[in-house]
Chains A and B, each alone.
Chain A
Amino acid sequence: MLLYILRRLLYVLPVALAVSLVCFLLVHIAPGDPLISVLPPDASQQLQEEMRKVYGFDRPLPVQFGIWIGRAVQGDLGSSIATGRTVASEVGRAVGNTFILAVAATLLGFVLGALFGFVAGYFRDSWIDKAATTLAIAGVSLPHYWLGMVLVIVFSVWLGVLPAVGAGPGGSTDWAWDWAHIRHLILPAVTMSVIPMGIVTRTIRALVGDILSQEFVDALRAKGLTDGGVFLHVVKNAAPTALAVMGVQLGYLLGGSILIETVFSWPGTGFLLNAAIFQRDLPLLQGTILVLALFFVGLNLAVDVVQTALDPRIKRG
């Protein structure tokens, strides 16, 4: 097992390096001079040259990449052009809020999806299966930013029971586990949970169908096991794949939270990205994307390792 983890780690390293390269190049595919947002429009030729030296843009690209990655591994992602604070501290503050939102949404989506998936898989072709499948398709087809607006219309504008924007009372951006903060979490988390709900429902429904058609289930029934006992076996067989899907979904939500965070003004990484894009704050954009992408790579690695550890049928090749 240890050997397997080591081998997977060795495979992840070049991927992580390539991901960093893509993030590094983002600044260079951007139109115009990367200095454009720092310098006044009437900056003299001489000042431009000097600033170019200060930022290191006069060196060849591979050298720039080497320097950039060398700093990045030490946690130095440069500083935000708009606020002057370091990118690392900006991302650090936002990442926690995104994490809370994404974990809440993943858990909610997984619980609902697992419930619908198991029921639909068990009672295939019944009305309850059709209802669950329809719900799942609706879940993956919904433009979730629109669902967020609709939920705000219903629960904030009409019923007035839940807040429409922000992560805490009075625009507070620091999370706390009290009702005043949790109220703000409900609408964005429910909105976000719709996607994993749909995907988990579809996956588990197919899994349960597959498992129930295998011979060992007949054998279990033949030896006189009750339905409840058979169900436990089905759960045990479905669990590793289901958990893997949940892990990957968490990664997608962490990286893809920008639309939801924009709708609900949730002070997380998506909100930060939005600000970075419209202020042309390229170091902030680059740093935030790098952190989120590396987190996704790490999460995928963790999912692979956990799934292999849980499921003896997967070869540790």
Chain B
Amino acid sequence: MSAPAAALTPVAAPAARGYWANVGRRLTRDPVSMACLGVLALILLAAVFAPYLGLADPYRGSMIRRLRPIGTEGYPLGTDELGRDMLSRLIHGGRLSLLIGILPVINAFVIGSLLGILAGYVGGRVNMAIMRTIDVFFAFPSVLLAIAISGALGAGIVNSLVSLTVVFVPPITRVAESVTTGVRNLDFVDAARASGAGALTVMRVHILGNVLGPIFVYATSLISVSMILASGLSFLGLGTKPPEPEWGLMLNTLRTAIYVNPWVAALPGAMIFAVSICFNLLSDGLRSAMDVRR
């Protein structure tokens, strides 16, 4: 067949895809995002299935096997200051570390979206009341606010979850409010209202669908900070309690070991760093995949 004839062969029109399918396609074509997703999935799956991986007991220590270096026979990543297997504790540590790092952002996403959408959609006094209250929490540096609430409530996982949720609700509310205010003033919302849709229908059908995406992307960008802060609280002794394996707490208890076995002592921090940078890069990738201008 000659070339011009080939050019004339009818080509099936590409199937129309939804916006989210497009975003997903663009995201899967970004090698950095996919690499980060892979690393995160690996750490998450390992943490979830930790008890079934045939690892050593993360709680069983031994006084004669303390602080073995990396590569010791039977202890691929060495042992900690109580002789417990580091590999097992690092993998088991992911369970709590990921939970206390991600859960506050999920809580704050739900609460902040509710407050922000309400403030943006209703406007007027409700908006004033919600947004001015939020302003007060912006007057605290985030670390200080987390420490203040955690410090007053005392140590514990639940208290650290509460304090971090309080830290992340204000920024999410602010983003949700500004996005909602922007969407509310668009013509299609007026059109929906003019054609007889009630407030709830407008909110559910026309606002939520256009607002949740940007809020979600913003929330994902907070997970990295949340991971660092949650483990930081444990590092200070305000989160998880020993002997629970958790990366921040492990970093704290291994601090005294930096003179004996520095590499083992630094391992839990490397885990926090890996998870945090992957969430950051993935969030950046998601944002540019959602940018329709590209």
Contact = CB atoms under 8 A, between A and B. Distances in A.
Interface string A30-67: 11000000000000000000000000000000000000
Chain B contact surface mostly: helix
B165 to A, nearest CB: 14
A207 interface: no
Nearest to A158: B262
A137 B151 contact: no
Interface stretch (B5-13, B40-48, B137-145, B201-209): B137-145
A251 B269 contact: no
A107 to B, nearest CB: 18
A137 B232 contact: no
Given A19-B136, A285-B148, A252 B143 contact: yes
Interface string A121-141: 000000000000000011011
A143 B266 CA distance: 11
Nearest to A16: B139
A150 interface: yes
Interface in B50-87: none
A146 B266 contact: yes
B152 A282 contact: yes
Interface stretch (A109-117, A178-186, A271-279): A271-279
Interface in B266-287: 266, 268-270, 272-273, 276-277, 279-281, 284
A53 B244 CA distance: 42
B251 interface: yes
A22 interface: yes
B240 to A, nearest CB: 15
Contacts of A314: none
Given A258-B236, A259-B235, A277 B269 contact: no
Contacts of B251: 145-146, 149
A212 interface: no
A141 to B, nearest CB: 4
B224 interface: yes
A206 B220 CA distance: 21
A153 B135 CA distance: 41
Interface residues of B, number: 44
B272 A26 contact: no
A30 B140 contact: no
A277 B156 CA distance: 13
A27 B152 contact: yes
Which of A252, A259, A262 has the most chain B CB atoms closer than 10 A to its own CB?
A259
A258 to B, nearest CB: 6
Instruction: Specify which of B144, B154, B228, B272 lies most central, judged by the most chain A CB atoms within 10 Å of its CB.
Output: B144
A143 B139 contact: no
Contacts of A30: 152-154
A140 B269 contact: no
Interface residues of A, number: 49
A94 interface: no
A104 B51 CA distance: 46
Nearest to B231: A143
Contacts of A242: none
Contacts of A297: 139
B154 A31 contact: yes
Nearest to A133: B284
Given A142-B273, A143-B269, A149-B269, A26 B232 contact: no
Interface in B108-158: 135-137, 139-144, 147-154
B258 interface: yes
Nearest to A17: B136
10 contacts: A15-B136, A143-B272, A158-B262, A255-B141, A255-B144, A259-B143, A273-B147, A274-B236, A285-B151, A292-B141
Given A282-B152, A292-B141, 20 more contacts: A19-B140, A27-B152, A29-B149, A145-B235, A145-B269, A146-B266, A146-B273, A153-B258, A252-B141, A252-B143, A255-B144, A256-B142, A256-B144, A258-B143, A259-B143, A259-B235, A273-B147, A285-B148, A289-B144, A289-B147
